[in-house]
A = this chain, B = another copy of it.
Amino acid sequence: MEVSANSHAVQAAPLPVDLADGVFPAGCPSRTVLDHVTSKWGVLILLALSEGEQRWSDLRRRAEGISEKMLAQTLKTLERDGLVRRDAQPVIPPRVDYSLTERGYELSALLVPLVAWAFENAEDIVNGKR
Protein backbone atom coordinates (compact mmCIF):
# COMPACT_ATOMS: atom_id res chain seq x y z
CA MET A 1 0.00 0.00 0.00
CA GLU A 2 1.27 3.39 -0.97
CA VAL A 3 1.34 6.10 1.63
CA SER A 4 2.13 9.77 1.30
CA ALA A 5 1.16 12.33 3.88
CA ASN A 6 2.29 15.09 6.18
CA SER A 7 3.48 13.26 9.26
CA HIS A 8 5.49 16.12 10.74
CA ALA A 9 4.37 17.27 14.17
CA VAL A 10 1.24 19.36 13.92
CA GLN A 11 0.79 21.93 16.63
CA ALA A 12 -2.49 22.37 18.44
CA ALA A 13 -4.72 24.53 16.31
CA PRO A 14 -6.80 27.09 18.17
CA LEU A 15 -10.43 26.07 18.29
CA PRO A 16 -12.33 27.92 15.58
CA VAL A 17 -15.50 27.50 17.58
CA ASP A 18 -16.01 28.88 21.03
CA LEU A 19 -16.78 25.93 23.26
CA ALA A 20 -16.12 27.62 26.55
CA ASP A 21 -18.26 25.42 28.74
CA GLY A 22 -19.52 22.13 27.51
CA VAL A 23 -17.87 20.87 24.36
CA PHE A 24 -21.39 20.63 23.07
CA PRO A 25 -24.76 20.92 24.73
CA ALA A 26 -26.23 17.46 25.21
CA GLY A 27 -29.16 17.72 22.80
CA CYS A 28 -27.23 19.76 20.23
CA PRO A 29 -27.79 18.99 16.53
CA SER A 30 -24.01 18.91 16.06
CA ARG A 31 -23.91 15.84 18.24
CA THR A 32 -26.31 14.07 15.94
CA VAL A 33 -24.46 15.08 12.81
CA LEU A 34 -21.16 14.13 14.36
CA ASP A 35 -22.57 10.75 15.31
CA HIS A 36 -23.77 10.06 11.77
CA VAL A 37 -20.54 11.16 10.25
CA THR A 38 -18.18 9.43 12.64
CA SER A 39 -20.20 6.25 12.83
CA LYS A 40 -18.33 3.02 12.26
CA TRP A 41 -19.64 2.53 8.73
CA GLY A 42 -20.36 6.15 7.90
CA VAL A 43 -16.69 7.02 7.72
CA LEU A 44 -15.92 4.05 5.52
CA ILE A 45 -18.75 4.73 3.09
CA LEU A 46 -17.96 8.42 2.86
CA LEU A 47 -14.35 7.57 2.24
CA ALA A 48 -15.12 5.03 -0.44
CA LEU A 49 -17.38 7.51 -2.20
CA SER A 50 -14.71 10.20 -2.04
CA GLU A 51 -13.04 8.26 -4.83
CA GLY A 52 -16.09 8.63 -7.00
CA GLU A 53 -19.48 7.19 -7.81
CA GLN A 54 -20.05 3.64 -6.66
CA ARG A 55 -22.75 1.06 -6.98
CA TRP A 56 -24.42 -0.72 -4.07
CA SER A 57 -22.44 -3.89 -4.69
CA ASP A 58 -19.18 -1.94 -4.94
CA LEU A 59 -19.80 -0.35 -1.58
CA ARG A 60 -20.66 -3.67 -0.05
CA ARG A 61 -17.35 -5.06 -1.16
CA ARG A 62 -15.30 -2.01 -0.26
CA ALA A 63 -16.68 -1.53 3.21
CA GLU A 64 -15.50 -4.99 4.06
CA GLY A 65 -17.55 -6.67 6.74
CA ILE A 66 -20.65 -4.49 6.46
CA SER A 67 -24.02 -6.24 6.47
CA GLU A 68 -26.75 -5.42 3.99
CA LYS A 69 -28.81 -4.00 6.78
CA MET A 70 -26.14 -1.60 7.90
CA LEU A 71 -25.24 -0.57 4.38
CA ALA A 72 -28.86 0.32 3.67
CA GLN A 73 -29.23 2.12 6.97
CA THR A 74 -25.99 4.05 6.66
CA LEU A 75 -26.71 5.12 3.09
CA LYS A 76 -30.19 6.30 4.03
CA THR A 77 -28.90 8.34 6.92
CA LEU A 78 -26.20 9.95 4.81
CA GLU A 79 -28.68 10.61 2.04
CA ARG A 80 -31.11 12.27 4.45
CA ASP A 81 -28.25 14.37 5.70
CA GLY A 82 -27.63 15.58 2.18
CA LEU A 83 -24.17 14.09 2.03
CA VAL A 84 -24.84 11.28 -0.41
CA ARG A 85 -26.80 11.31 -3.64
CA ARG A 86 -28.70 8.25 -4.83
CA ASP A 87 -29.25 7.79 -8.53
CA ALA A 88 -31.48 4.87 -9.48
CA GLN A 89 -31.70 3.86 -13.14
CA PRO A 90 -35.06 2.38 -14.14
CA VAL A 91 -33.53 -0.64 -15.82
CA ILE A 92 -33.67 -4.36 -15.28
CA PRO A 93 -31.71 -5.55 -13.51
CA PRO A 94 -31.71 -2.38 -11.40
CA ARG A 95 -28.67 -0.15 -11.32
CA VAL A 96 -28.14 2.38 -8.56
CA ASP A 97 -25.21 4.72 -8.26
CA TYR A 98 -24.20 6.48 -5.10
CA SER A 99 -22.07 9.57 -5.02
CA LEU A 100 -21.17 12.44 -2.73
CA THR A 101 -23.05 15.71 -2.85
CA GLU A 102 -21.08 18.93 -2.71
CA ARG A 103 -21.52 18.99 1.03
CA GLY A 104 -20.41 15.39 1.15
CA TYR A 105 -17.21 16.27 -0.68
CA GLU A 106 -16.60 19.12 1.69
CA LEU A 107 -16.86 16.68 4.56
CA SER A 108 -14.77 13.95 2.95
CA ALA A 109 -11.99 16.47 2.45
CA LEU A 110 -11.82 16.70 6.25
CA LEU A 111 -12.25 13.00 6.79
CA VAL A 112 -9.47 11.91 4.47
CA PRO A 113 -6.59 13.37 6.51
CA LEU A 114 -8.06 11.89 9.64
CA VAL A 115 -8.27 8.43 8.16
CA ALA A 116 -4.80 8.78 6.68
CA TRP A 117 -3.52 9.67 10.13
CA ALA A 118 -5.24 6.64 11.64
CA PHE A 119 -3.73 4.48 8.97
CA GLU A 120 -0.23 5.78 9.56
CA ASN A 121 -0.37 5.60 13.33
CA ALA A 122 -2.32 2.38 13.72
CA GLU A 123 0.66 0.08 14.07
CA ASP A 124 2.43 2.17 16.69
CA ILE A 125 -0.77 2.68 18.63
CA VAL A 126 -1.82 -0.94 18.87
CA ASN A 127 1.76 -1.94 19.69
CA GLY A 128 1.98 0.64 22.43
CA LYS A 129 4.93 2.43 20.84
CA ARG A 130 5.49 6.04 21.67
A29 within 8 A of B: yes
Nearest Cβ distance between residue A118 and chain B, in whole angstroms? 5
Instruction: Report if A5-B17 is in contact (Cβ < 8 Å); known contacts: A109-B12, A122-B29.
Output: yes
A68 within 8 A of B: no
Closest residue on chain B to residue A83 by CB atoms: B125
CA distance A23 to B81 in the complex (A): 22
**Contact across chains for A62 and B125 when beta carbons are under 8 A apart:** no
Q: How many residues of A contact B (CB 8 A)?
A: 74
A103 within 8 A of B: yes
A91 within 8 A of B: no
A26 within 8 A of B: yes
Instruction: Report if A23-B117 is in contact (Cβ < 8 Å); known contacts: A28-B122, A109-B11, A109-B12.
Output: no
A1 within 8 A of B: yes
Instruction: Report if A23-B64 is in contact (Cβ < 8 Å); known contacts: A12-B50, A122-B30, A128-B80.
Output: yes
A-B contact pairs, 7 of them (CB 8 A): A1-B18, A10-B105, A10-B106, A11-B105, A13-B108, A22-B61, A103-B121
Q: Which residues of A contact B (CB under 8 A)?
A: 1-5, 9-13, 15-19, 21-26, 28-30, 32-35, 37-40, 43-44, 47-48, 50-51, 61-65, 80-82, 100-103, 105-119, 121-126, 128-130
